[in-house]
Chains A and B, each alone.
Chain A
């Protein structure tokens, strides 16, 4: 126990993108499987806190949903276009559009993230 904390590497199931890739990696890809996009910032302890939970859930849904992160400071135009003003913010996409409820701020629970992904998968199957 405790390994997950101490020897943590960024999961291979979380991919970092830039805004130029948004249309293909997020909107386009969500036609095929659910996508979760994480806007993060530096000097943001809630973002640091979310990272291991995000990776754990990404590993759990590997091959069934895509987990992407995007650095807000380097991608301001997209943040502005999507109306994102807080870090971290998780946005969910399915079928080429945003779905569900955005999760934002310090109290994003692993169980809440998991639940939204499960709902997207259930809707995709229906």
Chain B
């Protein structure tokens, strides 16, 4: 038998938890489902400096916990580490099966599943995942005490996580496809002046090489076409994100890049189905824009439920 809710939120990142805070305070019976523990990408960000309300930097993991505690305080239920094994979100009653053994349903759903780290898609990448290649500096940085690391990317994540990795690594070499970083100027300046950080501009990885563990990364200079192999102890990849649209890709039209289009109330073309956060087609993806999306989606869902009654 299915447990019935007013609102199901899928994804316990900033967008989903902001939605849950608003929905629970509006006395909607709300459940938040997540494959992992709450926090989305924030939980593995070592520090957050641009989220209002924190005059000092806040650890991503602490901010994630605070979001979740606030949602739970108002009665939202957060289901951690559950896997969605079946779903039907197209009709007036949305149904979701969890871990092949449990059903939940609701007339409104907010999909805030965010995005997963983009992979390079080059030879050796899947083979050396967890054997030298990582996407999470807070998880794996400490494995590389005194080692020589390479970071791929040039946006905020790449530059900030490179700085974080200097706590452990002897040297961090950033490989970036352009001749300048796309990160915030304050962070870029810190990185470019850091004694342990070196940058290889205009270059992209082409292959990961090694016997049983990663030993070398082959890179190509995109301007000169020069190819060379660099010895490495580990590579961290921060080259952007891919939206997680598994739940909605069959019932919604996706924008270029795979993102979901909404109107300004976060509504999709399916009545009662909303999306919020990094999954949505929009120009800027920040924690602040995610919580804004979640807020709007919850308010819109609340109005939808009221009109439906």
Contacts and interface: CB of A to CB of B under 8 A. Distances in A.
B212 interface: yes
Interface string A36-62: 000001011111111111001000000
Given A84-B131, A102-B130, A46 B102 contact: no
Contacts of B116: 106-107
A11 interface: no
Contacts of A73: 142
B141 to A, nearest CB: 9
Interface stretch (B87-95, B132-140, B184-192): B132-140
Interface residues of A, number: 33
A5 interface: yes
Contacts of A104: 129-130
Contacts of A46: 36, 44, 136, 139
Contacts of A79: 143
A126 B218 CA distance: 42
B80 A52 contact: yes
| Main DSSP-derived SS at the B contact region | mixed
B83 interface: yes
Interface in A94-124: 102, 104-107, 109-111
A73 B136 CA distance: 16
A111 B210 CA distance: 30
A53 B213 CA distance: 27
Given A85-B234, A104-B130, A44 B81 contact: no
A49 B3 CA distance: 23
Contacts of B130: 84-86, 89, 102, 104-105
A125 B47 CA distance: 49
Chain B interface size, as a band, is 35 or more
B83 A86 contact: no
B35 A49 contact: yes
Contacts of A45: 36-37, 39, 43-44, 61, 64, 138-139
Contact of A105 (B3, B83, B129, B144): B129
Interface in B181-235: 212-214, 234
B36 A83 contact: no
Interface in B222-260: 234
B135 A5 contact: no
A47 B81 CA distance: 11
B143 A86 contact: yes
B29 interface: no
B50 interface: no
A5 B134 CA distance: 28
Contacts of B102: 1
30 contacts: A1-B3, A1-B102, A2-B79, A5-B78, A41-B140, A43-B138, A44-B139, A47-B139, A49-B81, A52-B80, A53-B81, A53-B83, A56-B99, A73-B142, A84-B130, A84-B143, A85-B130, A85-B132, A85-B140, A85-B213, A86-B130, A86-B131, A86-B133, A86-B136, A87-B139, A87-B140, A87-B143, A102-B130, A105-B135, A106-B44
List the 8 closest pairs (A to B, CB-CB), nearest first. A104-B130, A49-B36, A86-B130, A83-B213, A45-B43, A44-B139, A52-B81, A89-B130
Interface of B: 3, 35-37, 39, 43-44, 61, 64, 77-81, 83, 85, 99-100, 102, 116, 129-136, 138-140, 142-144, 212-214, 234
